[in-house]
Amino acid sequence: MPTPATNRLGLSPIARVRAFRATDISPASEATETPALQHALLTEWSASVSDLGTFLPLATAIAMTGSLDFGAILLFAGLMNLLSGWRFRQPIPAQPMKALAAVAITEQLTRGEIAAAGLMVAVCLILLAATGATEWAARLVPRPVVRGIQLGIGLRLVAKGGEWLFGLQWSGLQFGWTSGLPFMGMDSLLVAALVGTLLCAPRLRRIPLLLPVFAAGFVIAIISNPGGWTGFAATVPDLAPQWPAALEWTRGVLHAGLPQLPLTLLNSVLAVCALSSDFFPRGGISPRKMALQLGVINLLAIPFGALPMCHGAGGLAAHYRFGGRSGLSAILLGAMMIGAAILFGPGMVQLLAGYPVSIMAVLLILAGWTLGRVARDAMAGTDLIILLATLLPILLINTAIGFVAGLTLAMVIGRRQPTTERE
């Protein structure tokens, strides 16, 4: 049997699974090989849902605001996962553009504003890939500015989750209280505490509990509102094209597009390609190839209701950690997303309206924590000063002002430090 090194390129996903596991399979016995292959396929399946902790909270929260159709989000995310698994033949899943999605949730962006921000990023990626300037562009934004954006947006997601749980409203320097969740009940603080414990307990971290927890939320929604099933239909989501209006271009690009672009370059292009080379030395992906694919697929999909998507080093690391060794894990994830989009269709909107706030708030808080904790490597000296100059305006005003403030201070200080760390 050929060795894994000779088969990392050019084989189908299932064949690549067999090749990657060849060292664990005895070629002398087909009876031994079959269970080993079944185990390999099982680990690929398990890995396929390992990064839903990033996708589900952001995608669901945006759908709950009414900006985008959840069926369209699932459909295009699924197609992007299929394309990624087939083309790269590595476990690189599609993720929402986190900064853009977080701004859309916290600042209530419209569909047109979300589309404008995503299209701007897509066009920039295509131009940078065409000119071979991806790494040069990434060096223009210093690491502390990027970390400040990530921490600021992460804290805003945490604050939004806290608002849903406890009723604490925070806008700039103004605070207020509304009615939060009750302590007991099917949608309560007790349920939120239980979900947080299950997802954060150290002994349970290696168990993919997110999917069953997320599914349990739909069970609660159905029990609480049995009529939510009436809108279900096996149909393709509404994919009517829509182009941003003039004012939507301005707000979308300034508030979400500009803060997202450096994060996409650093994490979705440079960092994920570096990690790909670490995990698959003979099958590394070039930044130019990655940037071009991300740009083209977003340019084609966003006008039809897609949530702007990217790839991330965190998603690759999660799939690899739980057994993903080929593009099969991304393909399986894509197939599940497309199936859910078609089976549930427009009825998903009604069901999401009754989805437990207790579960969604915890998922949103964990997503914000995951996004913000990477700022730990910029907590000293000049880096900390630039980070705070970026962070505070994001928390008190908006993301666009924070990005400009941090970048201006960095230019004054004279820092031009490239960032290729994995996130």
pLDDT tens readout for residues 332-374: 999 999 988 887 765 666 666 678 888 888 877 887 787 688 7
pLDDT tens readout for residues 41-65: 777 877 787 677 678 888 888 888 8
Taking Cα atoms as reference points, which of 48, 23, 32 lies closest to residue 322? 48
What tokens appear for 177 in the block? 């209280």
pLDDT at residue 423, rounded to an integer = 39
Residue type, 100: L
User: Model's pTM, two decimal places?
Assistant: 0.72
pLDDT at residue 305, rounded to an integer = 92
Taking Cα atoms as reference points, which of 131, 67, 129 lies closest to residue 102? 67
Contacts of residue 133, Cβ cutoff 8 Å, sequence gap at least 6: none
What tokens appear for 256 in the block? 């979400």
Give the HSE-up count for residue 373: Cα atoms under 13 Å, Cβ half-sphere. Answer: 7
Taking Cα atoms as reference points, which of 142, 99, 146, 151 lies closest to residue 120? 99
pLDDT at residue 78, rounded to an integer = 94
Distance of CA 115 to the CA centre of its chain: 16
Where do we find the tokens 């949730």? 105
3-state SS, residue 7:
coil
According to DSSP, residue 321 is labeled H
Domain boundaries, the chain: 46-231+244-413
Contacts of residue 49, Cβ cutoff 8 Å, sequence gap at least 6: 208, 210, 211, 333, 336
Give the HSE-up count for residue 415: Cα atoms under 13 Å, Cβ half-sphere. Answer: 22
What tokens appear for 165 in the block? 């749980």
Query: How far is the C-alpha of 248 from the C-alpha of 116, rounded, in Å?
Result: 7
Where do we find the tokens 């005895």? 26
| Residues of the chain under the 70 pLDDT cut | 1-40, 50, 53, 170-178, 205-208, 227-236, 322, 345-353, 371, 415-423
Query: How far is the C-alpha of 359 from the C-alpha of 218, rounded, in Å?
Result: 10
Residue type, 310: C
Q: Report residue 364: phi and psi, to 5°.
A: -70, -40
Instruction: List, in sequence order, every residue forming a beta bridge with 311; answer none if it has no partner.
Output: 94
| Alpha-carbon distances of 308 from 95, 296, 305, rounded to whole Å | 9, 11, 9
pLDDT at residue 345, rounded to an integer = 64
Q: Residue 272 in contact with residue 92, Cβ under 8 Å?
A: yes
Q: Residue 108 in contact with residue 65, Cβ under 8 Å?
A: yes
User: CA end-to-end span of the chain, whole Å?
Assistant: 36
According to DSSP, residue 308 is labeled P
For the residues of 192-230, what is the DSSP string, one character each?
HHHHHHHHH-GGGTTS--HHHHHHHHHHHHHHH-GGGGG
Query: How far is the C-alpha of 44 from the C-alpha of 362, rounded, in Å?
Result: 27
Taking Cα atoms as reference points, which of 275, 300, 303, 305 lies closest to residue 287? 275
